[in-house]
Amino acid sequence: MKTYKTFYPILFLIILSACEVRMAPTEYWSKLFRTQTDSSYYQGKSESLANEIAEDIEEYEINKITVMDFVDEGNRTPILGEYLSSRVVQAFTARSLFQGRIFHVTQKGEVNETLQQLNLQHNFLYAKNDLKALGESLNSQAVLTGKITDLGTNIDMHLTLTDVVTGEVISSATQHLKRTRFAVEMLRQH
């Protein structure tokens, strides 16, 4: 009897020592319960929007665009709007996304300087005269504006590409973003 009392615990420990115990959640569960998003998530959303916009402008011979910082419902530029507009610029300048089609994007500092000279602000909607003045000043064929709307369950990012000469909306696209604490905080800060 005594041998069983000492033999079985030793055997149990030997078997247990050969097993790997993993205390961390598996990759599947980590993705399922992830509460925050990372930069690759926003990059993917921005690339999807850039692709949608680029598909719609095949018939137009537009290769130079100006990307404005995205605004919220109050036409103010939140940190999230600046961040996402930078991601869209990155997507438009990635040559691999558009099968060799090249887009030239106006540099952000030049955009801000021109807005200041024309006494304009980042906006979602511009009057035709303002668009024309922006186009001429920046040597741009189209202006891409964006609006970020907190819907409570998610955040919508809507983009509109407008021809600077005619004022015609050439293309528009919308993506739904996860409403994380990080995104809401960045949307509230201006």
Where is 161: in which H helix or E strand? strand 154-163
Q: Give yes or no for residue 109 having a pLDDT over 60.
A: yes
Q: Which has the minimum average pLDDT: 19-23, 107-111, 160-164?
A: 19-23
pTM: 0.74
The answer to which of 42-56, 76-90, 95-109 has the lowest mean pLDDT is: 95-109
Q: What span, in angstroms and rounded, lies between the C-alpha atoms of 130 and 107? A: 19
Strands (E), 31-153: 64-67, 104-105, 142-150
- What value does the mean pLDDT take over residues 113-125? 87
Tokens of 62: 């537009």
Rounded to an integer, the average pLDDT of 34-58 is: 75
Q: What is the pLDDT of residue 166?
A: 87
Q: Let me know: does 178 contact 41? Beta carbons within 8 Å.
A: yes
Average pLDDT value for residue range 31-42: 62
Q: Pick 129 or 41 by higher pLDDT.
A: 129
- Tokens (6 digits) for 48: 């999807």
